[in-house]
Structure 1
Amino acid sequence: MQMVEEQRLPHAIMLCGPMGSGKMALTLAFASYLLGDGPMLKNFGHPDLHFSFPVIKPTGTSSDHKMISDDFIREWHEMLAEGPYFTMDQWLSHMRAANQQAQIGAGESDSLIRKLSLKSSQGGYKVCIMWLPERMNGECANKILKLLEEPPQQTVFLLVCEEPEHLIDTIYSRVQRIDLKRIDDEAIERALVERRGLEPDTAQRVARIAGGSWLKAIEELKADSESRQFLDMFVMLMRLAYQRNIKELKNWAETVAGFGREKQKRLLGYFLRMVRENFMYNFHRPELNYMTREEENFSKNFARFINEANVIDLSETLQKAQRDIGQNANAKIVFFDLALNMIVLLLRK
């Protein structure tokens, strides 16, 4: 706001920060401020507010059609109506994606150039909010670069980014970066008690696990939360590996292979966290652990299997699986190989 009042507003701002830190909430609030907070902004349907975001190409779409954000604008507005905190997986669910990965393609840059070349309908700013610009493909990135180098008059680009290191350097150098820090655990704990009615002890556990993400904190409160599913898959993997039950480990790998790629990567991230938590649990220092009651109940008996002899190799094995999944390796092979490695690693003492 101060930049606007002092008439030194840059034409492109990139808000960076971890998931759940409030980047989109702040971006929407700033866009509303620039556009005048009128009634047209109630459902973010203002004619001078444009959105750009990763999309999938649904099965059966013509090969000639270049997907753009407008193809899913109704689903986007439905998600925004639920709140400004959301994940890529939630967005994929709104688009009814199967195993497709969403990206911002060349058609999107052509669409933005066409829209932003028009004059502002209200005589003020035109605002373009781009969610996850790091998912632009090469052709789109080069066209967006030209748009950022020679922006239309009175146009402001607001980029909401989680992995700025994946942006091409030329785009990165043409935006003003603002970093948002993780939300303090105390602030999340206080909000959970005051807004959600949690007991202080439960709120403290959830806040510590959330790691500065309000989105993660809300997810933990759901009875069918993803974390509970991931815990079940982790417990099953470790028990089957300890029993050396190859047949059931193969079934386990096939089940996980049925998840979408993004979910598989989050699952492996959760497994990495559980390896760390179980290793630290052996030191009997509660302040070093960040676990739910369910996770801690499992760790009471399991933690002794994670020790100095295997903790590094366990972590590296999981990280390798993450890289392989990120590079579109065959998921059944990756997870069955992971399961077999667990048999060997859990025997080390």
Structure 2
Amino acid sequence: MNFSEVIGQEAAKERLMQMVKEDRLPHALLFCGPEGTGKMALAMAFASYLLAGDEAEEAASPAVSNARAMIRNWEHPDLHFSYPTIKLPSMSSEHQPLSSDFAKEWHELIMKGSYFTMNQWMKQMGATTQQAIITGAESDELSRVLALKSSQGGYKVSIIWLPERMNLTSANKLLKLLEEPPQGTVFLMVCEEPEKLLETIISRTQRIDVKRIEDEAIEQALISRRGIDTDAAHRIARIAHGSWLKALESLDSGNENREFLNMFQMLMRLCYLRNVKDLKRWSEVVAGYGREKERRMLTYFQQQVRENFMFNFRTPELNYMTLEEENFAKNFARFINEANVIEINELFQHASRDIGQNANAKIVFYDMALKLIVLLLKK
């Protein structure tokens, strides 16, 4: 994989290249940024560069050519991936899930591309309502494989996707690895919620902030990679909020956000009508989504509250909505105002927190809906 396959992020690419050129490569890098900005793509491209050089070197060296062939298939023996996994019903009660348990599913996912979501990975694993974590056993396994000599005589690279999903045991074991890293090992950690990492882990890494992708870069990628016409690409890029994944979602007529929009519209209409009976049914439906999807829905709800509030200012450049969202906002936005916008967003935020802490989803959503009835009356 080449840096040219990473959309935008020119400053981050240059910084990584400079580290190698100036022989200032730290043993651990922490790529931080919102979902869809290309953190994993950057990490994978950098791992490719460390293990197999760049495209220009391929023709000149059989060794480089061989290494790049292995990287193209993500089968390089000195590249190790760690990622959140779930416990399958077929696993014994004593077994702690390992990345290697899902190696086939992971390989299928990354062969499709380096931009993907936790939701896509959960589907790839066949998850239903489970929460994915990185176990202590995974850190033990990582210690074991990194203690081995490099098979190609160069770097050993460990890419840890979403280290914030490590349990405490796993995080403490990783900390020991970072304190005394095996010789020639580079850790590339790809993180979306760095505040959930141990401070001691963060202090032993060098942080690379991966900012939202520029609209122009997304627009050009849509045109060149997806064959989208200029006008459509411009609108999609604008509402993508710097996320290539959100841009791709907009191209998918069956994408999850359309389902979330329908549930948002239904919730707001039922609250406006004070239809407590149907609100209970609504709560039961969304409680069946599973924790991960429920939290994604609540994040979407918060975004819609913000967009509807800004819609009232009649300043199009401040709004980032699809046509469907905008059509709903024309009638609904007036109900979101200075008196309730903060409280409504906090209500959704607290519900997401409670769901994440394994509270009963039916109770959480029904309680949230009843409180929302009162908040929508505020003016």
TM-score interval w.r.t. the shorter chain? Answer: over 0.9
In 1, Cα distance between the equivalents of 2:83 and 2:316? 41
Match of 1:207 in 2: 237
Structure 2 unmatched ranges of 5 or more:
1-16, 53-66
Aligned runs of 1:195-344 on 2, under 5 Å? Answer: 195-344=225-374
In 2, Cα distance between the equivalents of 1:169 and 1:157? 17
Match of 1:115 in 2: 145
Secondary structure, aligned partner of 2:31 = strand
Match of 2:218 in 1: 188
Secondary structure, aligned partner of 1:97 = coil
In 1, Cα distance between the equivalents of 2:217 and 2:34? 16
In 2, Cα distance between the equivalents of 1:12 and 1:316? 36
Secondary structure, aligned partner of 2:186 = strand
Task: Select the residue among 106, 112, 131 that pairs with 1:76.
Answer: 106
**1:228-286 Cα deviation digits (max 9, x unpaired):** 11110011111111222222111111111111212111111111111121122122111
Structure 1 unmatched ranges of 5 or more:
none
* Higher deviation after alignment, 138-147 or 203-212: 203-212
Task: Select the residue among 33, 41, 46 that pairs with 1:17.
Answer: 33
Match of 2:18 in 1: 2
In 2, Cα distance between the equivalents of 1:326 and 1:195? 37
Match of 1:33 in 2: 49
| Shift in Å, 1:165 | 1.4
TM-score, scaled to structure 2: 0.88
**Paired letter, 1:216:** K
| Shift in Å, 1:75 | 0.5
| Shift in Å, 1:102 | 0.7
TM-score, scaled to structure 1: 0.96
**1:212-235 Cα deviation digits (max 9, x unpaired):** 111111011100011111110011
Q: Report runs of 4+ in structure 1 exceeding 6 Å deviation.
A: none
In 1, Cα distance between the equivalents of 2:68 and 2:222? 31
In 1, Cα distance between the equivalents of 2:245 and 2:265? 24
**Paired letter, 1:314:** I
| Shift in Å, 1:199 | 4.0
**1:265-323 Cα deviation digits (max 9, x unpaired):** 11111111111211221221111111111111111111122223322322222122122
Match of 2:127 in 1: 97
In 1, Cα distance between the equivalents of 2:374 and 2:131? 33
Secondary structure, aligned partner of 1:158 = strand
In 2, Cα distance between the equivalents of 1:262 and 1:60? 22
**1:5-57 Cα deviation digits (max 9, x unpaired):** 33332111111111111111111111111111421112111111111111111
In 2, Cα distance between the equivalents of 1:169 and 1:230? 35
Task: Select the residue among 174, 181, 189 that pairs with 1:151.
Answer: 181
**Paired letter, 1:7:** D
In 2, Cα distance between the equivalents of 1:340 and 1:199? 45
Secondary structure, aligned partner of 2:149 = coil
Secondary structure, aligned partner of 1:121 = coil
* CA contact 1:20–1:213 (8 Å) conserved in 2: yes
In 2, Cα distance between the equivalents of 1:51 and 1:170? 22
In 1, Cα distance between the equivalents of 2:110 and 2:326? 35
| Shift in Å, 1:3 | 2.4
In 1, Cα distance between the equivalents of 2:68 and 2:339? 62
**Paired letter, 1:17:** G
Task: Select the residue among 132, 141, 148 that pairs with 2:171.
Answer: 141
In 2, Cα distance between the equivalents of 1:316 and 1:64? 39
**Paired letter, 1:162:** E
Does residue 172 of the first structure (1) align with residue 202 of the second (2)? Answer: yes
Q: Count the aligned residue pairs.
A: 349
**1:122-166 Cα deviation digits (max 9, x unpaired):** 111111111011111111111111111111111111111111111
* Higher deviation after alignment, 87-96 or 190-199: 190-199
The alignment yields a C-alpha RMSD, in angstroms, of 1.5
